[in-house]
Amino acid sequence: MPSFLSAHGLDPGPTQRPLPAGLLSGALATVPATLMLALSGALRAEAEILGLPLGATLGIGCAIMAAAGGVYGRLFGRGANDRRGGWLFGMAYGFLLWMAGAVLLLPLISGGQAPAGFAAIGIVISLLLWGTAMGGIFPHVHRRLHVDVSDPDALCRARLGSEAASADPGRSPASQPGNKER
């Protein structure tokens, strides 16, 4: 990220969990997006183009969108956690996914086939809806995944600060040399 953005504190702190929050938000946002895909006929069109059963297309699509939510959380950092503008970041990200996925990748992997008509409109609306929902859900999910700094057990599990930097994997921070046992 450009240095001027990090000067404003956009990098997530050690108690924040943008990747898991993005994964969960992306998975939850597939519900309204899938409804739009089904209503527009785009889900069936995608399944036919890919040559997959409808259930497999739905499952793979949900997994991809959950992973895309994780990428969103890591990419936007604290900006994704904005309650006022997160939905807008999400919608822009959904548009980017539409351009990369439905416009570029789907025709590439299917030999040039792409949805047309209502199915094509359904795909763009579903990805905009997914992004808007994911961006709106993200701050609420993210808040629940923060580590509570007042809970010493959570801090030990989170491995924060200099203890985390010097700790060996598999060893608790309390067992590190120089740390007092609790």
Q: Does residue 102 carry a pLDDT above 60?
A: yes
Backbone torsion region of residue 151, taken as left when φ is above 0, otherwise alpha when ψ lies between -120 and 50, otherwise beta = beta
Query: Which tokens belong to 68?
Result: 């895309």
> Are the C-beta atoms of residues 105 and 148 closer than 8 Å to each other?
no
Q: Which amino acid is at 5?
A: L
> Are the C-beta atoms of residues 153 and 52 closer than 8 Å to each other?
no
pLDDT digits (tens, 9 = 90+) for 68-91: 999 998 888 777 777 788 888 899
Q: Name every residue whose Cβ is closer than 8 Å to that of residue 121 and which is 6 or more positions away in sequence.
A: 40
* Least confident piece of the model among 104-113, 119-128, 144-153: 144-153
Query: Which tokens belong to 48?
Result: 């036919």
Query: Which tokens belong to 61?
Result: 């699509």
Q: Does residue 95 carry a pLDDT above 90?
A: yes
> Are the C-beta atoms of residues 72 and 26 closer than 8 Å to each other?
yes
Q: Is the dihedral of CA 1, 100, 137, 143 positive or negative?
A: negative
Domain boundaries, the chain: 15-146, 150-182
- Of 95-99, 160-164, 178-182, give the range with the top mean pLDDT: 95-99
Q: What's the predicted TM-score (pTM) here? A: 0.71
- Mean pLDDT, range 23-41, rounded to an integer: 94
Q: Which amino acid is at 52?
A: L
